[in-house]
Each structure stands twice: as structure tokens, then as C-alpha cells.
């Protein structure tokens, strides 16, 4: 089946927040074979919300909205959707009771503003939201459906999984038909160089489509089967993915949402090797990436954020002579940092990063973006210099990804 998504919130148009709900909805619906044909974002303006939802409903007959269900006055989705369906808002006793109970459990009296959250369009199905105060609402008439979900991401995801999907399955029509993608993740190769290696594969894999998705983590190759029978989609995706993997070769580090940090942890876990890090310009970002992976604690021991040179000396044993002679951003210092981390933490594998993330601190010889990376495994060390494009955040993110990739290539005996 097909539907449209409308995300509501002035903050989305003013660029004040990232629309993570769009990502979650897109991923979950595609996995269920539901195609989002269009996604529209509008501000908290009643006339605009009404126009956009009504147009989407006329085009596609099925609309999911997020946002505008909270207790404050800028939350106006319910009223506009009720108007589209020519229904009044009525106080729902069950919702009111569960709201009051929720506040009682938290030991608080319910603020008066929350009472409006118990109002629903007449005839709407209430989708209980145990994670927050705003329930979801399913309004349906004459074969047209608007599903309203709250804007808080965890609440939206919970309602989608627990209340919306079961109802979509019952509606049928999607049984056996899927929209499905496979993603091959590469790093350490530019988009156009990768395109040359992959070559003119599009005709071979049709009707599947191929997209190149560059980011600070590398270039993902995403192949998509649109509304095919599940078995057919899977077979075609398997063939295409195998071809892409072969052509992209040693630059491939995983598939789907595989994080390179998670891949490295698996690699080390299989060898019962433990890991430590020494970070300067990334300032903790590398450790944060590694520990973002659940279960990382059985491989990752810890790290030193050696922002000040004193910390490089005292906690990592980098000599004052090296720092003075070569500067903190140098092959010599990153080598000493990685050896120091390995020894200090008593581990077999270690990573180190030192560089100039900017915006200040660049020189002609060492411009902003200059980063020295080191990976060590046992007695082997690999050190590379990179000059990354982008701003401070980008240089730091690219550094973390590249040093993880350096360890992958060191262990896999792949050139860097």
C-alpha cells in the first residue's frame, strides 16, 4: 500500500530540529512494504495543516501525521483533522482517566492544560500511548484514513509498532508485497571512484534501483526493490548485493546499518582481544562511537582524552622532546599515543587520533583538517595522515570513522 506522511511543527521549517520521525517512519513503513510516496512538513499553522493533510488525503487516501498533539497551544493537529472529516472534538473519558492516573503515579496533580489532550475527533479510535500523555488517533471515514501520532520520537515509534502496524496488516493489500532495500557500506573511497569500479550495473539489476549515498562515514550503495513479491525482491536483492560487494571489494565494511565500530568490536571479540583509545582532536567522540554499541564493554576497556599536551605526557607517556620537536599533530606523537594507550590499558589493540579540527589552529604546513591516525594490534602499528574537508564536526566524525577503518585494514591485511 501507499501513503503520505505529514510532519507538523514550526521548528521543522525553521530548521530548529532534525526530523528524526521522518527517518523512523520511513524505515519502519518500508520494512512493512508500505511506500511513502511523499512527505510534507508544515508549520504549526491551522490553515496550512488543514490544507496539506486534505490534499494528501485527496491524492493518496491514507495519511500519517506526527506532531501537534501535545498539551500546549501550538498543538493543533487534532482540531484541523477533525474539521477535514467534519467531526466535532469531544472529551474522551477513558483518555482523561488514563491521563489523571499517569500524573497520580508521578505524584503530581494534572495541570489543566493537559485536559485538552483528552479531546478527540468524534468516532476516532484512540491509540493508547503508555510512554506519554498524548494518545495517537486513528480517524477513518469513507475509506479515507488519517492517523495522528505524537511528535516525541520514542512515543511515535512505540505507537507505530504497537498500534499502527497491526491495523495496517488487518487492512491487508500489503500481504506479500514489499518495498525493500539492501545497503552495502563502503569507506575509504570517493563516490566517483566507486562509481567507476561499480560500472554500469543499473541495467543488469533493473527493475531494482541503485543509489550512491555519500556521508562522513563513506559511501553507501543502496539497492531497492519497489513493491515486488517478497521472495522475488529477496532473490533479486541478494544477487545485486553480491555483485556490488564484489565490485566494491576491500572498501566494503558491512551491510545495512552496520556501524564500523560495531564491526570492529565483533572482529576483536572473535579474537578475544581488548581495545583502548587515546584521543586528542576527537575529544571523546571515538570512545562515544565505540560505546554507543550495546555490549561494547566486553571488548572496550577505556580511553584517555588527551586534549592538553600535559595529559599526553602524563597519562600516555608521550615525551616532551617528541612534542616539542614534531608538534602534537605528527606521525611521531600519534605513534607514541597509540603505544602509550596499548601499554597503559594493558590491551592488545589500540587507536589514537591527533589533529586540527578547526576552525582555528591551522598553519600552512598543517592546515585545518590535518589528522594523524594510528592503529595498533599486537606488535604491528599502522599510521596514516589525512587532510579531511569540512567543518569541525565533520573533521572529527571523519577522523573517528577513518581510524576505525585503519584498524579494520590492519587486522584484515588490506592496504590503507
Instruction: Tell me which residues in 277-306 interact with its own copies (CB under 8 A).
Output: 277, 279, 281-292, 294-297, 300-306
The residues in 204-263 that bind its own copies, with binding defined as CB under 8 A, are 209-215, 220, 222, 224
Residues 118-137 close enough to bind its own copies by CB under 8 A = 131, 133
Binds its own copies by CB under 8 A, chosen from 33, 121, 358, 369: 358
Stretch that binds its own copies, among 7-15, 120-128, 262-270, 319-327 (CB under 8 A): 7-15
Q: Which is nearer to its own copies, 123 or 363 (CB)?
A: 363
Q: How far is the CB of 191 from its own copies (least distance, A)?
A: 7
To the nearest whole angstrom, how small is the minimum distance from the Cβ of residue 388 to its own copies? 11
Alpha-carbon span 93 to 244, nearest angstrom = 56
Instruction: Compute the distance between CA of residue 83 and CA of residue 70 in angstroms, rounded to an integer.
Output: 18
Minimal distance, residue 25 CB to its own copies, in Å: 6
**Vertex 83: Cα angle to 77 and 89 (nearest 5):** 75
As a whole number of angstroms, the longest Cα–Cα distance in the chain is: 80
Q: Which of residues 136-175 bind its own copies (CB under 8 A)?
A: 152, 154
Least distance (Å) between residue 415 CB and its own copies: 18
CB atoms within 10 A of CB 261: 22
For its own copies, the binding residue among 1, 74, 83, 177 (CB under 8 A) is 74
Q: Report whether 256 contacts 192 (CB < 8 A).
A: no
CB 151 within 8 A of CB 21: yes
Assess contact for 147 and 136: CB atoms under 8 A. Answer: yes
Measured torsion, CA atoms of residues 141, 156, 230, 139, in degrees rounded to the nearest 10: 0
- Options 307, 313, 317, 416; binder of its own copies; rule CB under 8 A: 307
The radius of gyration computed from the CA coordinates of the chain, to the nearest angstrom, equals 26
Residue 264: CA count within 13 A, CB half-sphere: 34
Size, binding site for its own copies by CB under 8 A: 106
Residue 111 binds to its own copies (criterion: CB under 8 A)? yes
Block residue for cell numbers 548485493: 241
In the complex, the smallest distance separating the C-beta of residue 285 from its own copies, rounded to whole angstroms, is 4
Least distance CB 13 / its own copies (angstroms): 5
Closest distance of CB 194 from its own copies, Å:
9
Cell numbers 592538553 correspond to: 308
Regarding 1 and contact with its own copies (CB under 8 A), the answer is no
Stretch of residues binding its own copies (CB under 8 A), selected from 30-38, 83-91, 231-239, 247-255? 30-38
CB of 169 to its own copies, least distance (A): 19
Task: Provide the pairing of β-strand 209-215 with 89-91.
Answer: unpaired
From first CA to last CA, the distance across the chain in angstroms is 45
Q: Which of residues 363-392 bind its own copies (CB under 8 A)?
A: 389-392
Q: Residue 358 corresponds to which cell in the numbers above?
A: 578547526
Stretch that binds its own copies, among 81-89, 111-119, 230-238, 380-388 (CB under 8 A): 111-119
**d(Cα 211, Cα 140) in Å, to the nearest integer?**
36
Task: Name the minimum Å distance from CB 107 to its own copies.
Answer: 12
Q: How far apart are CA 369 and CA 390, in angstroms?
A: 8
How far, CA to CA in Å, does 405 sit from each of 76, 158, 217, 218, 363?
47, 35, 10, 10, 27
C-alpha distances out from residue 346 to 15, 72, 338, 402, 404, Å: 46, 54, 12, 24, 19
Q: Is 181 in the site for its own copies (CB under 8 A)?
A: yes
Q: Is residue 113 within the footprint of its own copies (CB under 8 A)?
A: yes
* Residue in 247, 332, 394, 416 binding its own copies, rule: CB under 8 A: 394
Residue 334 lies near its own copies (rule: CB under 8 A): no
Answer for which of 3, 8, 33, 42 binds its own copies (CB under 8 A) is: 42
Whichever of 271 and 310 has its CB closer to its own copies, that residue is 310
Amino acid at each position: 500500500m501507499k501513503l503520505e506522511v505529514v510532519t507538523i511543527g514550526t521548528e521543522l521549517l525553521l530548521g530548529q530540529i532534525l526530523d528524526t520521525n521522518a527517518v523512523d517512519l520511513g524505515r519502519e513503513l518500508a520494512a512493512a512494504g508500505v511506500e511513502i510516496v511523499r512527505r510534507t512538513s508544515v508549520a504549526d499553522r491551522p490553515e496550512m495543516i488543514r490544507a496539506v493533510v486534505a490534499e494528501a488525503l485527496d491524492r493518496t487516501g491514507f495519511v500519517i501525521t506526527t506532531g501537534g498533539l501535545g498539551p500546549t497551544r501550538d498543538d493543533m493537529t487534532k482540531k484541523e483533522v477533525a474539521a477535514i472529516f467534519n467531526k466535532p472534538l469531544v472529551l474522551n473519558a477513558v483518555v482523561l482517566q488514563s491521563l489523571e492516573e499517569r500524573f497520580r503515579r508521578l505524584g503530581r496533580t494534572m495541570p489543566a492544560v493537559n485536559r485538552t489532550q483528552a479531546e478527540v475527533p468524534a468516532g476516532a479510535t484512540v491509540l493508547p500511548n503508555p510512554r506519554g500523555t498524548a494518545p495517537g488517533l486513528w480517524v477513518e471515514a469513507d475509506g479515507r484514513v488519517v492517523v495522528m501520532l505524537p511528535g516525541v520520537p520514542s512515543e511515535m515509534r512505540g505507537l507505530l509498532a504497537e498500534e499502527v502496524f497491526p491495523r495496517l496488516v488487518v487492512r491487508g493489500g500489503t500481504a506479500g508485497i514489499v518495498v525493500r532495500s539492501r545497503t552495502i557500506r563502503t569507506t575509504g573511497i570517493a563516490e566517483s571512484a566507486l562509481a567507476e569500479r561499480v560500472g554500469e550495473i543499473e541495467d543488469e539489476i533493473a527493475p531494482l534501483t541503485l543509489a550512491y549515498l555519500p556521508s562522513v562515514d563513506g559511501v553507501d550503495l543502496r539497492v531497492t526493490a519497489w513493491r515486488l513479491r517478497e521472495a522475488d525482491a529477496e532473490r533479486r536483492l541478494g544477487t545485486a548485493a553480491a555483485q556490488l560487494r564484489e565490485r566494491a571489494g576491500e572498501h566494503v565494511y558491512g551491510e545495512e546499518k552496520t556501524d564500523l565500530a560495531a564491526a570492529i568490536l565483533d572482529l576483536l571479540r572473535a579474537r578475544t582481544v581488548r581495545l583502548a583509545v587515546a584521543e586528542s582532536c576527537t575529544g571523546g567522540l571515538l570512545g562515544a562511537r565505540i560505546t554507543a554499541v550495546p555490549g561494547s564493554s566486553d571488548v572496550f576497556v577505556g580511553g584517555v582524552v588527551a586534549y592538553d599536551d600535559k595529559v599526553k605526557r602524563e597519562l600516555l607517556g608521550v615525551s616532551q622532546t617528541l612534542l616539542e620537536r614534531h608538534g602534537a599533530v605528527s606521525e611521531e606523537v600519534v605513534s607514541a599515543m597509540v603505544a602509550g594507550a596499548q601499554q597503559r590499558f594493558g590491551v592488545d589493540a589500540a587507536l589514537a587520533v591527533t589533529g586540527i579540527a578547526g576552525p582555528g589552529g591551522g598553519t600552512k604546513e598543517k592546515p585545518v583538517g590535518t589528522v594523524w591516525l594510528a592503529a595498533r594490534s599486537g606488535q604491528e602499528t599502522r599510521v596514516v595522515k589525512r587532510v579531511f574537508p569540512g567543518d569541525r564536526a565533520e573533521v572529527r566524525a571523519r577522523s573517528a570513522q577513518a581510524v576505525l577503518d585503519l584498524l579494520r585494514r590492519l587486522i584484515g591485511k588490506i592496504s590503507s
